[in-house]
Amino acid sequence: MRVVVLGAGFGGLELATRLSEEFGEDLDLVLVDRSAAFVFGFAKLDVMFGRETQDAVTHRYADIAKPGVRFLQSTIRAIDPATKRVTTDDEVLEADVLVVALGADLDPAAIPGLVDYGHEFYTVAGAFAVREVLANFGGGRVVVGVTSTPFKCPPAPSETALLMHDFLRDRGLLHSSQVSLVMPLGVPIPPSPEASTVLLEEFARRGIDWYPDRLVREVDGGRKVLTLADGDELPCDLFLAVPPHRAPQVLVDAGLTDNGWIPVDPLTMQTSYPGVFAVGDATSVGTPKAGVFAEGQAAVAADRIAALLRGEEPTSTYDGRGLCWLQFGWDSVAKVDVTFSAGDRPFGTMQGPSVELTRDKQEFGSSRVSRWFGQP
Ligand SMILES: Cc1cc2nc3c(=O)[nH]c(=O)nc-3n(C[C@H](O)[C@H](O)[C@H](O)COP(=O)(O)OP(=O)(O)OC[C@H]3O[C@@H](n4cnc5c(N)ncnc54)[C@H](O)[C@@H]3O)c2cc1C
């Protein structure tokens, strides 16, 4: 039975690893991604603030050596979910079980003025470009702003605002600068009132202006203002943008999406097509778009596929739980434990922030690299 996994991000890597661990050489799994390497989402913050080199954050797919797994670097051009046939630039793949883990694409061009006058930091290229911009920044009005919903890793803009404050402080630029945060949420982390309170206190302490329930709709580089969705204007010298997110076009063309994203059964990750699963950011499963959730969903899909391969009835179901790390500074991290389960109100608790949790976050990343790529 051939398993084809589309996308080697958090979801695809976890799924391929689990099935390889269980079936070894008996597995026939093809993992497809257009990229040559994986970069953790959170590493983009390390990159933009100049904390890490390109080599340190890049994990090459060519290094994957998992029994039963073949990595194919190629762009996926077409998917037929009814026949489970996938056309890539290099091969046509016929699957018995298909897993879609293609994540979310970004569309900065959808916001007028963003490409010319703003700086997105959500792609690897964008984060490296921001690094150069920050190296030459002499201070001014910095806005970290979200442009549409949903968006990946809802805590990331808050972390960016805090780290931007520290960056300006360390360069002696605070006296001539102001950091503002524009978010579509009423509080920074809605499922955890505790985390939201601590973050709002921290914004106030560091003098970061907080604009809740807003989106940035337009960038006017000439006048140096951002127009918000409610029509208000915000002066801005440096716009660090979270661009609009979209399901990859190949999923829309395949007829897999509804209302922008792939609907799945929230307990099983099964799409409406038999033998086709979808996990992670490409879905509308009801959890935030974050790696920890993609990973948890992939674990359930892997368990269910494993049962199919063994000829048993799948029983594993998804609980909507995820542990998120919240960077208050380079030596201060909090851990937020959140659960989004269908039909229930999301809830969460927070630990920290503390120096010790900085090491926990590092361990979170290094343990994934070691499991997914077989490297220490
Ligand atoms: C700044 C930032 C900070 C973040 N911090 C965190 C954090 O601390 N914790 C956390 O859990 N999450 C975090 N995230 C979010 C996290 O990175 C994503 O939610 C997660 O990667 C989603 O996993 P996924 O498997 O659904 O998709 P992805 O990891 O995005 O993987 C999708 C893969 O599909 C491939 N692909 C797409 N289209 C095609 C195609 N047509 N052909 C071939 N390949 C294709 C892509 O190359 C990609 O490798 C952060 C994100 C950002 C931007």
Average pLDDT rounded to a whole number, residues 340-368? 93
Which pLDDT does position 343 carry in this prediction? 82
- Candidates 205, 189, 185; CA nearest to 197 is 189
The average confidence (pLDDT) of the chain is 96
Calculate how far, in angstroms, residue 126's C-alpha sits from the geometric centre of ligand 1.
14
* pLDDT band at residue 364 using 50, 70 and 90 as cut-offs: very high
Question: Which residues does residue 78 pair with via DSSP β-bridges, in sequence order?
Answer: 87
Calculate how far, in angstroms, residue 173's C-alpha sits from the geometric centre of ligand 1.
33
Residue nearest to atom 35 of ligand 1 (CA): 7
- Helical H runs in 260-334? 291-310
Query: Residue 233, Cβ neighbours under 10 Å: how many?
Result: 12
Instruction: Decide: 30 and 70 in contact? Cβ < 8 Å.
Output: yes
d(CA 176, CA 109): 30
How is residue 96 annotated by DSSP? S
Which pLDDT does position 375 carry in this prediction? 56
* pLDDT band at residue 339 using 50, 70 and 90 as cut-offs: very high
Instruction: Decide: 180 and 209 in contact? Cβ < 8 Å.
Output: yes
Question: Using a 6 Å cutoff on CB, does residue 246 contact ligand 1?
Answer: no
d(CA 233, CA 241): 16
Instruction: Decide: 264 and 298 in contact? Cβ < 8 Å.
Output: no
Average pLDDT rounded to a whole number, residues 232-259? 98
Report pLDDT digits (tens) over 99-141: 999 999 999 999 999 999 999 999 999 999 999 999 999 999 9
Helix, strand and coil percent figures for the chain, each rounded to 5: 35, 30, 35
Tell me the whole-structure pTM to 2 decimals: 0.97
Which pLDDT does position 146 carry in this prediction? 98
Phi, psi of 347 (to 5 degrees): -140, 160
Name 51's Cβ contacts closer than 8 Å, sequence gap at least 6: 330
Nearest ligand 1 atom to alpha carbon 7: 34
How is residue 331 annotated by DSSP? T
In the predicted model, is pLDDT for residue 344 greater than 90? no
Average pLDDT rounded to a whole number, residues 288-313? 97
Which pLDDT does position 376 carry in this prediction? 44
d(CA 159, CA 121): 12
Question: Which residues does residue 120 pair with via DSSP β-bridges, in sequence order?
Answer: 241
d(CA 85, CA 254): 11
3-state secondary structure of 221: coil
Pocket test for ligand 1, best of 121, 281, 318 (most atoms within 8 A of CB): 281
d(CA 223, CA 305): 55
Pocket test for ligand 1, best of 35, 51, 152, 285 (most atoms within 8 A of CB): 152
3-state secondary structure of 316: coil
- Candidates 83, 80, 66; CA nearest to 31 is 66
Q: Measured at the alpha carbon of residue 336, what is the angle toward residues 335 and 337, in degrees to the nearest 5?
A: 120
Sign of the Cα pseudo-torsion (91, 279, 10, 217, in order)? positive
- Which residue's structure tokens are 């150069």? 132
Ordered domains of the chain (ranges, CATH): 2-104+247-319 (3.50.50.60), 107-245 (3.50.50.60)
3-state secondary structure of 228: strand
Average pLDDT rounded to a whole number, residues 208-226? 98
Average pLDDT rounded to a whole number, residues 58-77? 96
3-state secondary structure of 310: helix
Phi, psi of 242 (to 5 degrees): -100, 105
Question: Using a 6 Å cutoff on CB, does residue 7 contact ligand 1?
Answer: yes
Residue nearest to atom 29 of ligand 1 (CA): 9
Calculate how far, in angstroms, residue 233's C-alpha sits from the geometric centre of ligand 1.
32
Average pLDDT rounded to a whole number, residues 78-87? 98
d(CA 147, CA 350): 27
Q: Measured at the alpha carbon of residue 175, what is the angle toward residues 170 and 177, in degrees to the nearest 5?
A: 85
d(CA 262, CA 289): 13
**How far is residue 67 from each of residues 169, 328, 369, measured CA to CA in Å?**
49, 40, 17
Report pLDDT digits (tens) over 131-159: 999 999 999 999 999 999 999 999 999 99
In the predicted model, is pLDDT for residue 341 greater than 90? no
Query: Residue 232, Cβ neighbours under 10 Å: how many?
Result: 12
Calculate how far, in angstroms, residue 193's C-alpha sits from the geometric centre of ligand 1.
26
Nearest ligand 1 atom to alpha carbon 242: 53
Report pLDDT digits (tens) over 182-200: 999 999 999 999 999 999 9
